[in-house]
Chains A and B, each alone.
Chain A
Amino acid sequence: MFYREAGQFKTSYDADSQIFPIRQDRIGVALMLAVAFVVVPLVATPYVFSAILIPFLIFALAALGLNILTGYAGQISLGTAAFMAVGAFASYNFVLRIPGIPLLVAFVLGGLCAAAVGILFGLPSLRIRGFYLAASTLATQFFVVWCLTKIPWLTNNSSSGVITAQKLEMFGYAFESPASKYLLVLCIVLVLALAAKNMVRCSIGRSWMAIRDMDVAAEVIGFRPMRTKLTAFAISSFYCGVAGALYAYAYLGTVEPEAYNLDLSFRILFMVMIGGMGSILGSFLGAAFIILLPIFLSQFAHGFGLPNSIASNLEAMVFGALIIFFLIVEPHGLARLWQIGKEKLRLWPFPH
């Protein structure tokens, strides 16, 4: 009844090709942004900021990056955490070695370094497909983490490889309170998400999807597989790199290379799968789900007063079972559920 596009006519090409063609969507998005920018900072507690909201946004960004590669371009990667690590440690070194460099520039440069590493490790994708590729992206994962632990220059000669991220300072303002960090991360994530949304709607996104659906056919009709796959790797790694830098600067503060281990890669892959492959919104939904689930589970376990060792194992079991459950119930992810809901809403309350 309320969610219907009847009567909304497009009179120009610009209007026809806008991101949210339906007025209700635009209102919804504006409301969400208002809530995110105004209401949340007013009501949320520091715990909510630093334990839920900031990691949620950062992981959503990383999931977005992986979604570009896996969901849109169809290349499975298990090395996401490695690209995040490159972004984080590169940013750290840029800030450390170039005095007076603006932090935002350092983040971008860190992202670009991650993109370069992404291109390098994306090269095998030109020959290898499917699970062979997935298993070989593990090479990235182990190699990058090994490099960071073994080459002291990268971690500024810290003995255990632990780095302490510099102060989060931009335009002469120090982002110290959780709320300000949250707003900073929110801005960065929003800009990048908007860019991603536009990218997948234009020619580059179409070429990714063509390669994903059938690369031989795409090649025949004139897409260059090399350029397409490598841009996917580069852009995906850039997103992951920025996410990794934010993970170090805005969330953890002190990081060791081991923080970017295989587990993290899998978690981000879960976010993409649960949220929905090939969906920008899905990355956010998936990240929210994977962040919130363990928190709920541990609250639940504490509610029953279970001892820690049992609780953590039970959590792992329930987590695994829920993943399987979700895959069985909705293999296309939460984004598909949202879409189905929208379809229903259009007909409601007169479905015939």
Chain B
Amino acid sequence: MQFFLEVLLGGLLSGVMYALVALGYVLIFKASGVFNYAQGAMVFFAALTCVGFSEMGMSLWLAAPLTMLVMVALALATERIVLRPLVNQNEITLFMATIGLTFFIEGLAQLVWGSQVHPLELGIEDVPLQWMLDRTGIAVSQFDLIAALICAILVAALAVLFSKTKIGRALRAVADDHQAAQAVGIPLQYIWAVVWTVAGFVALVAGLLWGSRNGVQFALTFVALKALPVLILGGFTSVPGAIVGGLIIGASEKLAEVYLGPMVGGGIEGWFPYVLALGFLLVRPEGLFGEKIIRRV
């Protein structure tokens, strides 16, 4: 039982990390209908840039805002160069464009900062919480808890941003209907730049957390693939969906690996989340919290 709880908790906490990456997708999809495959590359790029700055002798507190500036520049450039000329193209064209963007960002990141593995130290130790270990005998990493906390704060902030502020209202309007939003005077380009910037910020946070966990390396881009089942499970358009989906995927993935894995030879972490999400989709084709898809002829 103790072991089960430990696996479950570990899974839930790593699920939070997946959710962090999935959030970036949700933001962009919600506001512009673009399925941004480059989010994983953005996570990698942000982490690498931040590490690069700090290796040049800056403290992390200086490097992170500087990286944020770079991400803003990236967001503006993406909006101007990639998205604006592709307005009104169908979804798959935009999706392919973001795959092209992925290649570009990955190449750029490694060209500037080199392709070796960089260690990243955030000052949070990855050790089990002592008091928890003493009382219940369950090992929970301090790092994971703090990551979960950061994620919770981020989600709360995003929820407020989306529901309470003027920009949030504009974002939702654009998500609903581009043309109508434009007709009532919402500047589409500005909104897109804002969304990509926020997504860049989320990518930076995710990149720092993932990077300090596994080292900043090219494998960070694969985190994106972990976020996809979270996304389809939670629904492409729902911020809470990303969190709940992340928790479900994280927990079930770890449990499946520990309990089912040995029966079939292990390594099922790669596909199990997808199959799970697929099963969910068969019951609810728009994900758990996605907007109901109404189709008319």
The 8 closest A-B pairs by CB, nearest first: A320-B103, A316-B107, A323-B100, A320-B104, A139-B274, A317-B107, A142-B271, A313-B111
Number of interface residues of B (CB under 8 A): 52
Query: Is A324 on the interface with B (CB-CB < 8 A)?
Result: yes
- Beyond A269-B96, A314-B107, whether A124 also contacts B86 by CB under 8 A is no
Q: For A220, what are the chain B residues with a Cβ–Cβ distance below 8 Å?
A: 297
Pairwise interchain contact B104-A324, C-beta atoms closer than 8 A: yes
* Interface segment, one of A27-35, A90-98, A129-137, A197-205: A129-137
Which of A127, A315, A319 interacts with B281 by CB under 8 Å?
Answer: A127
Binding site for B on A (CB under 8 A): 70, 76, 124, 127-132, 134-136, 138-139, 142-143, 146, 149-151, 214, 216-217, 220, 262, 266, 269-270, 273, 277, 309-310, 313-317, 319-324, 327-328, 331
Pairwise interchain contact B281-A124, C-beta atoms closer than 8 A: yes
Q: For B85, what are the chain A residues with a Cβ–Cβ distance below 8 Å?
A: 328
Given contacts A136-B278, A324-B100, A328-B85, 8 further A-B contacts (CB under 8 A): A136-B232, A142-B274, A266-B99, A277-B92, A310-B111, A322-B100, A324-B101, A328-B82
Query: Is B74 on the interface with A (CB-CB < 8 A)?
Result: no
* Interface segment, one of B117-125, B159-167, B169-177, B261-269: B261-269
Query: Is B110 on the interface with A (CB-CB < 8 A)?
Result: yes
Query: Is B53 on the interface with A (CB-CB < 8 A)?
Result: no
Pairwise interchain contact A131-B95, C-beta atoms closer than 8 A: yes
Q: For A139, what are the chain B residues with a Cβ–Cβ distance below 8 Å?
A: 271, 274-275, 277-278
**CA–CA, A129 and B91, complex, Å:** 12
| B35 nearest in chain A by CB position | A131
Pairwise interchain contact B102-A320, C-beta atoms closer than 8 A: yes
Query: Is B24 on the interface with A (CB-CB < 8 A)?
Result: no
Query: Is B6 on the interface with A (CB-CB < 8 A)?
Result: no
Q: For B286, what are the chain A residues with a Cβ–Cβ distance below 8 Å?
A: 132
**CA–CA, A130 and B92, complex, Å:** 9
Q: For A127, what are the chain B residues with a Cβ–Cβ distance below 8 Å?
A: 281-282, 285
Q: For B100, what are the chain A residues with a Cβ–Cβ distance below 8 Å?
A: 319-324, 327
Q: For A324, what are the chain B residues with a Cβ–Cβ distance below 8 Å?
A: 81-82, 97, 100-101, 104
Looking at B82, B89, B92, B228, which has the most chain A CB atoms within 10 Å of its CB?
Answer: B92
Pairwise interchain contact A316-B297, C-beta atoms closer than 8 A: no
Which of A132, A262, A323 interacts with B103 by CB under 8 Å?
Answer: A323
Query: Is B229 on the interface with A (CB-CB < 8 A)?
Result: yes
**CA–CA, A131 and B268, complex, Å:** 23
Pairwise interchain contact A150-B111, C-beta atoms closer than 8 A: no
- Beyond A214-B297, A317-B108, A320-B102, whether A136 also contacts B274 by CB under 8 A is yes
Pairwise interchain contact A273-B96, C-beta atoms closer than 8 A: yes
**CA–CA, A328 and B277, complex, Å:** 33
Which of B264, B275, B285, B297 interacts with A150 by CB under 8 Å?
Answer: B264
Pairwise interchain contact A146-B267, C-beta atoms closer than 8 A: yes
Pairwise interchain contact B92-A132, C-beta atoms closer than 8 A: no
Min CB gap A39→B, angstroms = 35
Pairwise interchain contact B106-A132, C-beta atoms closer than 8 A: no
Looking at B96, B99, B270, B281, which has the most chain A CB atoms within 10 Å of its CB?
Answer: B96
Query: Is B179 on the interface with A (CB-CB < 8 A)?
Result: no
Which of A136, A214, A270 interacts with B277 by CB under 8 Å?
Answer: A136
A interface footprint on B245-272 (CB within 8 Å = 1, 0 otherwise): 0000000000000000000111110110
- Beyond A138-B274, A142-B270, whether A270 also contacts B104 by CB under 8 A is no
Pairwise interchain contact B297-A327, C-beta atoms closer than 8 A: no
Query: Is B293 on the interface with A (CB-CB < 8 A)?
Result: yes
**CA–CA, A135 and B265, complex, Å:** 25
| B293 nearest in chain A by CB position | A129
| B236 nearest in chain A by CB position | A131
Query: Is B145 on the interface with A (CB-CB < 8 A)?
Result: no
Min CB gap A277→B, angstroms = 8
Pairwise interchain contact A124-B278, C-beta atoms closer than 8 A: yes
Looking at A129, A317, A321, A324, which has the most chain B CB atoms within 10 Å of its CB?
Answer: A324
Min CB gap A155→B, angstroms = 13
Which of A135, A314, A323 interacts with B96 by CB under 8 Å?
Answer: A323
- Beyond A124-B278, A319-B103, whether A135 also contacts B111 by CB under 8 A is no
Min CB gap A348→B, angstroms = 29
Pairwise interchain contact B86-A316, C-beta atoms closer than 8 A: no
Pairwise interchain contact B264-A136, C-beta atoms closer than 8 A: no
